[in-house]
Amino acid sequence: MSLKHGLTEQQANEAGGKVYTLGSYRLGINQRGADIDTLVLAPSHVTRSDFFNELYDMLTNCSEVSKLIKVPDAHTPIMNMIFAEIEVRSPFFLAPH
């Protein structure tokens, strides 16, 4: 996404972005079959539109992803999916400048 927003390859590599686990999985108290709550932290130049269009399109083409659902109108934008038979919930936040 950074390259699509006009950043150089070096700037794109330095822009950051992370996926964090939360909840019971993060605490190590999850059980087999439980979901994994995640937080997607993106650089500030990545937009909600990027998250719900570009990332959504990439995930729809991934063979390990099923039941992909986006909730763009939620106060905190969320995308849920089954990834490799594990339910994943991902709210999206932009990193401050």
State residue 36's pLDDT score: 84
DSSP secondary structure string for all residues of the chain: -TTTTT--HHHHHHS--EEEEEHHHHHT---TT--EEEEEEE-TTS-HHIIIIIIHHHHHT-TTEEEEEEETTSSS-EEEEEETTEEEEEEEEEPP-
53-92 residue pLDDT tens: 998 999 999 999 999 999 888 888 888 999 998 889 887 6
Please list the residues that pair with 82 across neighbouring strands.
66, 87
The CATH number of 16-94 is which of 3.40.50.880, 3.30.460.10, 1.20.200.10, 3.40.50.720? 3.30.460.10
Domain residue spans of the chain: 16-94
Phi/psi at 27 (nearest 5 deg)? Answer: -80, -10
Question: What is the overall mean pLDDT for the chain?
Answer: 86
10-49 residue pLDDT tens: 999 999 888 888 887 777 887 777 788 888 888 889 888 8
Find out whether 69 and 59 touch, Cβ atoms under 8 Å: no
